[in-house]
Amino acid sequence: MVINNEGTKSLKQVSIIGISFLFFLVEILLLIMLSKNDDILNFRSLFWILHLALSIIFIFVYKRFFQESIGYYDVFIIIFPVVGIFLFFMDEIFSIWKVKKAIAEEVLGNNEVEEILQKLKKDYMVSEFDVMSSYDLLSSSNNDNKKKFLFSFESKDPKLKVEMLQRALQDENTEVIHYAATEVNKLDAGIQEKINNIEKEKIKETDKEEIKKLDYKIFKLYKSYVDSGLLFGEILNFYQNKTLEILKNLQISEKEREFFLIELYENMSNESDYENLLKDRISKYSESEIITKYLKFLYRQNRFEELINEYRKYEKMGNSQIEKPVFLEEILL
């Protein structure tokens, strides 16, 4: 009886070793076969799905038929998810380069990405497109041209670029929307990165004149950010107030500070303060640009009678460069 038990035990051990080897061999075959046509660094790939299924079958066989623990294989069951998480992060890091290359190749349709990208940028420089032609292009049915335009469009004015991208976000084609959203995120991240870099540079700087220059650069970047159209709601209010605080401490002339203050208030809800600033500025300098801003403000407020009177008053004062509101062109012939 003892012999039979020992024989059964030996047979069981041989069976366990044999099945373990078989499962291990299947794992190796999966790795060899799927590594050629599947991305094994991605934990959602076919390899990892089959590996999980194989592990479940392996555990079931040991528990159900052999009433045994799974031995050292349980170590691998624990280790593999850890390895999978590590490979997932590696996949995320490398995918940044892969996605950029894939997008470029898809848009350009050529492996010589850098060379053709430079050519496209020359072909689609902002000087080649005015606002109307850009709108016409984005309204067209040619999705390839729209993607090329979004991929290569450059502008010194972030507001203009954001305006184009926001229009593209309303497109019917999902790829065009994806490209536009990618460019919006890239633009937003780019401005924030510039701000952070200059603020870090300011912390290290000890020369007062250099700090003064850096403060001015920081202010201009914040102003560009709030004027860009990238921010909305409470986030926009936060950055507008922060820009105002920076402006108050900026070492510039009062005339320049006042001009920047007007530009900031133009897009804020401080309407009475904005109007008072405009009137005060006009009384001191009578600048055509500020007068035009004041007339536009009156137009937005639906104060048409006052607008007509103010326009006639400034026109008589010899301000020929004042922009005439469109609706007044027929009235004031």
The answer for residues whose C-beta is within 8 angstroms of residue 207's C-beta and 6 or more apart is none
**Global confidence as pTM:** 0.56
Residues 232-279 have pLDDT tens digits of 899 999 999 999 999 999 999 999 999 999 999 998 988 999 999 999
Q: How far apart are CA 306 and CA 328, in angstroms?
A: 12
Grouping H, G, I as helix, E, B as strand and the rest as coil, residue 273 is: helix
Angle at 128 between CA 125 and CA 132, to 5 degrees: 120
Q: How confident is the model at residue 107 (pLDDT cuts 50, 70, 90)?
A: very low
pLDDT of residue 53: 79
- Kindly tell me the burial class for residue 9, based on how many C-beta atoms sit within 10 Å of its own C-beta (0-12, 13-18, 19 or more): exposed
Residues 179-221 have pLDDT tens digits of 888 888 988 999 999 999 999 999 999 899 999 999 999 999 9
Q: Mean pLDDT lowest for which of 61-75, 115-129, 132-146, 308-322?
A: 115-129
Give 246-249 contacts, CB < 8 A, sequence gap 24+: 246/215, 246/218, 246/219, 246/222, 247/219, 249/215
Q: Is the predicted pLDDT of residue 305 greater than 70, yes or no?
A: yes
Q: How far apart are CA 259 and CA 103, in angstroms?
A: 43
Q: What residue segments make up the domains of the chain, in order of their start?
A: 2-108, 265-333
Q: Is the predicted pLDDT of residue 3 greater than 50, yes or no?
A: no
Report which listed range, 72-86, 93-107, 186-200, is most confident.
186-200
Report which listed range, 24-33, 37-46, 106-115, 288-297, is most confident.
288-297
